[in-house]
């Protein structure tokens, strides 16, 4: 049954591990995007942050029974280890994700979507960026709207695939923009023609959740 997805601690641990792998793989690419319109450290920042999470992950998952504590700790590591703007932003994302579900060891797909939406809201309330400011919000908000419209009975895999497509297109939409938030602001019109690095890393990180969902589907088939 495709709709009976259960999100548990193992799912979150695997996702965080895969995000750490992704951050190593994409480190130079994300950094190069940031070299174009920022200070060239976005990939370095995320790899430092997720290395910190990886190092603590076994410890965290052995000592934590619920999803919320795990996500909260991962968020705190990002917040404390990463110097750039993206550390506190992604840190808030993970710290806020599980807040509505304290003590839960398993949640449903719908609850998982609420978690992601709460994470996105946290990024927006910390960074105060709007769509069109040329930040990760340009990717997150179009994705948010897909999650918001999910109804029980809809195909979760299609829903999450659409979430990723909208985020990706949101990232593409940053290319022609002038930045109104973050370091790229200083460049004015010179930012035009360049993709915002955080909009790229954000859809790629969310795509890790998608791949983990697909693994579960394939295991259940």
Single out the segment in contact with Mg ion by CB under 5 A; choices: 76-84, 110-118, 161-169, 184-192.
Answer: 76-84
Quote the least distance from Cβ 39 to Mg ion, whole Å: 4
**From 9, 17, 42, 96, residue interacting with ligand ADP (rule: CB under 6 A):** 42
- Counting contacts by CB under 6 A, is residue 136 touching ligand ADP? yes
Distance, CA of 167 to chain centre: 10
**From 15, 20, 34, 179, residue interacting with Mg ion (rule: CB under 5 A):** 34
Secondary structure, 3-state, 187-209:
HHHHHCCCCCHHHHHHHHHHHHH
- Cβ contact 124:88 at 8 Å: no
Angle subtended at Cα 185 by Cα 181 and Cα 187, rounded to the nearest 5 degrees: 160
Question: Minimal CB distance to Mg ion: which residue?
Answer: 38
Kindly report each contact of residues 23-32 with a partner whose C-beta sits within 8 Å and lies 24 or more positions away, as own/partner.
23/47, 23/49, 23/50, 23/51, 24/50, 24/51, 26/201, 26/204, 29/200, 30/197, 30/200, 30/201
- Counting contacts by CB under 6 A, is residue 171 touching ligand ADP? no
- Cβ contact 199:171 at 8 Å: yes
Distance CA 128, CA 124 (A): 5
Give the x/- contact pattern for Mg ion in 42-71, rule: CB under 5 A: x-----------------------------
Distance CA 187, CA 179 (A): 8
Q: Residue 220 is encoded by which pair of tokens?
A: 């259940």
Quote the least distance from Cβ 68 to ligand ADP, whole Å: 24
Judged by beta carbon distances under 5 to 8 A according to partner kind, the member of Mg ion, ligand ADP, none in contact with residue 129 is ligand ADP
- Counting contacts by CB under 6 A, is residue 135 touching ligand ADP? yes
Map the footprint of ligand ADP across residues 103-132, applying CB under 6 A. 127-129
- Counting contacts by CB under 5 A, is residue 105 touching Mg ion? no
- Counting contacts by CB under 6 A, is residue 197 touching ligand ADP? yes
By CB under 6 A, name the binding residues for ligand ADP. Answer: 34, 38-39, 41-42, 45, 84-86, 89, 127-129, 135-137, 181-183, 196-199
By CB under 5 A, name the binding residues for Mg ion. Answer: 34, 38-39, 41-42, 84
């Amino acid at each position: 049954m495709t709709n009976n997805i259960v999100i548990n601690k193992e799912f979150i641990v695997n996702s965080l591990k895969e995000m750490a792998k992704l951050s190593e793989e994409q480190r130079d690419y994300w950094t190069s995007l940031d070299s174009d319109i920022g200070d060239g450290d976005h990939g370095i920042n995320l790899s430092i942050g997720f290395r910190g999470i990886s190092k603590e992950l076994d410890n965290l998952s052995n000592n934590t029974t619920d999803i919320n504590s795990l996500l909260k700790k991962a968020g705190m590591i990002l917040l404390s280890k990463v110097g750039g703007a993206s550390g506190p932003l992604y840190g808030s994302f993970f710290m806020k994700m599980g807040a509505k579900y304290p003590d839960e060891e398993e949640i449903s797909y719908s609850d998982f979507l609420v978690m992601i939406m709460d994470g996105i809201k946290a990024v927006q309330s910390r960074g105060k960026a709007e769509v069109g400011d040329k930040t990760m919000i340009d990717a997150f908000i179009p994705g948010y709207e897909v999650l918001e419209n999910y109804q029980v009975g809809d195909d979760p895999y299609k829903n999450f695939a659409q979430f990723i497509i909208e985020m990706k297109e949101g990232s593409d939409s940053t290319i022609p923009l002038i930045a109104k938030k973050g370091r790229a602001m200083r460049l004015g019109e010179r930012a035009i023609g360049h993709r915002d690095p955080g909009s790229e890393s954000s859809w790629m990180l969310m795509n890790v959740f998608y791949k983990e969902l697909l693994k579960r589907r394939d295991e259940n088939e």
